[in-house]
Amino acid sequence: MSWPVTFFPSGRTVHVDPGTTLLQAAVEAGVSVQTPCGGNGTCGKCRVRLRDGQAPAIGSSAHLSQAELDAGWRLACTTPVTGPLTVDVPEATPDIRPHTILTDTITYNTPHDPRPAGYLGVAFDLGTTTVAGTLFDLHTGRELATRAAMNRQIARGDDVIRRIDAVRRDARALSDLQRLATDTLNAIMLDLVESRPTNVSAIREIVVAGNTTMQHLLLGRDPSPLGEAPFTPAFTDAQTVPAAELELHVHPDAQLMVFPQIGGFVGGDTVSSLLATRLDALPYPALLVDVGTNGEIVLQHEGRLCTASTAAGPAFEGARIRQGMRATEGAIDAIWREMDDLACHVIGDGPARGLCGSALVDAVAELLRLGAIDETGTLRVPDDAAPDFARRFQNVDDEAAVTLAWNATGEPAVRLTQQDIRELQLASGAIRAGIETLLCVVGITAHSLGALLLAGGFGNTLRIANAMRIGLLPRIDESAVRFIGNVSLAGAKQALLAQAERARAQSLRDRTEHIELAQQSGFSNCFMEHMLFPSEQGVST
């Protein structure tokens, strides 16, 4: 017997076995639920509300009041399905497919090896949160469509560490995570060919670029060594396997290539980004930064390539921030000063329910400018605060906090707390220290940089001046900073179209030096130094 579960606002219905959690059902339906703790029932962020039907409140009472439980609120990760249900998901993306797809902004002349007529191919960027795929006609080299979807592994944790932990705790989780990855790829390919099975079976080649953990999990390789020093990956060369082995529903002879990876947390997505940006060929020092849960950084100077990854923490993706959330409806995504007070924009223009990473950076930058945060990160009411600004400051649970948005009745709707600021200091300090350490390794300063390329979804939404104000990025001429979008997907496309690009990816992997930050003398001090916010005039490079 199975029970129907319908999620709103998407209206999607899935049929699941009794005992399946609401979170598992949501993932199957392609509905996005926040899962910072990886479905362990500890973060309290996966709240959903029963609209019709009954479900026991198992594991929900620690995070929900009796009134909330009575009103139908439950934690999705702990609540089993015991009958037909209709569920509201307040922070769900209405449908995963309309995700903003950050296609590459790199222009390039991709060589193309023509294949026989009728051959299709797909290039994937396999992200921890979002997976994007582009369909090509391999005969003509023409790009046909791009689609994105949530990575179904998200039911096992928001970040790679939780997914590695899941495998370390229970070896059976590996095949589960592999299946969730291949389910995601199969769903995207079906979507790309508009659900016509004949076209799916015309897919002959697949190229995937992802971080080391995602690439391991897709191939069913144990990622456990990535969970502890020296973070050694099971493979570093490109891997090519029959797609059928991974149960991908494409042509029976189709092959899947996974990008070569450098080591530690510097994976195939970084190699594919290098491929697409031609960073190695730029005639000036250039830095590539992908700000995410792990900040990956590559520096090129006189043809030398050095890379490092920093454990930035998930603050930029809204996790570990009291009211942090992804950039979906209800999230504050921009904050700025208006007179001597703050103003904000909310995605969807409805009530504010939380803030996403770009707004976190904005908030702290503006509070620094207003004198409400000092260089140590301490939050306080400035002596000369205007009345409207001063009333934003209140303690919450004995912790200093500032209100960023009010609800319709004038109560605080979204607050930034002292601990949130500490989390940002950790994340920002780690990335900046990584940048400074690489600059030090090659013997230049940030002033020498001819380009600073910001990759990835979060990078695209950053306000550069604010990122520099909090010290996340060095203060350089803003015209040198460029947003390059989903450049990892761009690299995967190039490798799909031409064998020479695959060889070039391997060569880039071979010549890129992996710098272990923790082993660099001075890294710890640099990290401590950059956890402090720079002064307004500070040129801390």
Chain residues in the site for ligand FES (CB under 6 A): 35-37, 39-46, 75, 77
Minimum distance from residue 322 beta carbon to ligand FES (Å): 14
When the beta carbons of 157 and 268 are compared against ligand FES, the nearer one is: 157
CB 311 within 8 A of CB 516: no
Cα distances (angstroms) measured from residue 383 to each of 91, 336, 371, 380, 403: 38, 20, 9, 9, 18
3-state secondary structure 438-487: HHHHHCCCHHHCCEEEEEHHHHHHCCHHHHHHCCCCCCCCHHHEEEEECH
Minimum distance from residue 171 beta carbon to ligand FES (Å): 22
CA distance 423 to 176: 31
Q: Which residues are CB-neighbours of 144 under 8 A, at least 6 positions away?
A: 120, 134, 135, 136, 137, 192
When the beta carbons of 78 and 182 are compared against ligand FES, the nearer one is: 78
CA distance 449 to 435: 12
Minimum distance from residue 358 beta carbon to ligand FES (Å): 23
- According to DSSP, the β-strands at 399-406 and 412-417 are antiparallel
When the beta carbons of 46 and 452 are compared against ligand FES, the nearer one is: 46
Minimum distance from residue 81 beta carbon to ligand FES (Å): 15
When the beta carbons of 45 and 301 are compared against ligand FES, the nearer one is: 45
Nearest to 126 by CA among 272, 236, 24, 226: 272
When the beta carbons of 6 and 24 are compared against ligand FES, the nearer one is: 24
- According to DSSP, the β-strands at 294-301 and 304-311 are antiparallel
Minimum distance from residue 19 beta carbon to ligand FES (Å): 17
Minimum distance from residue 430 beta carbon to ligand FES (Å): 24
Minimum distance from residue 56 beta carbon to ligand FES (Å): 15
Find where tokens 């500070």 sit: 538
When the beta carbons of 204 and 320 are compared against ligand FES, the nearer one is: 320
CA distance 54 to 84: 8
Q: How far apart are the first and last CA of the chain?
A: 63
When the beta carbons of 47 and 204 are compared against ligand FES, the nearer one is: 47
CA distance 371 to 318: 24
Minimum distance from residue 35 beta carbon to ligand FES (Å): 4
Minimum distance from residue 381 beta carbon to ligand FES (Å): 33
* Sheet of strand 304-311, all strands in order from the earlier edge strand to the far edge: 481-485, 451-455, 286-290, 294-301, 304-311, 512-514
When the beta carbons of 40 and 110 are compared against ligand FES, the nearer one is: 40
Find where tokens 């001597």 sit: 340
Minimum distance from residue 280 beta carbon to ligand FES (Å): 41
Maximum alpha-carbon separation in the chain: 73
Helix (H, G, I), strand (E, B) or coil at 232: coil
When the beta carbons of 160 and 505 are compared against ligand FES, the nearer one is: 160
When the beta carbons of 59 and 459 are compared against ligand FES, the nearer one is: 59
CA distance 148 to 322: 28
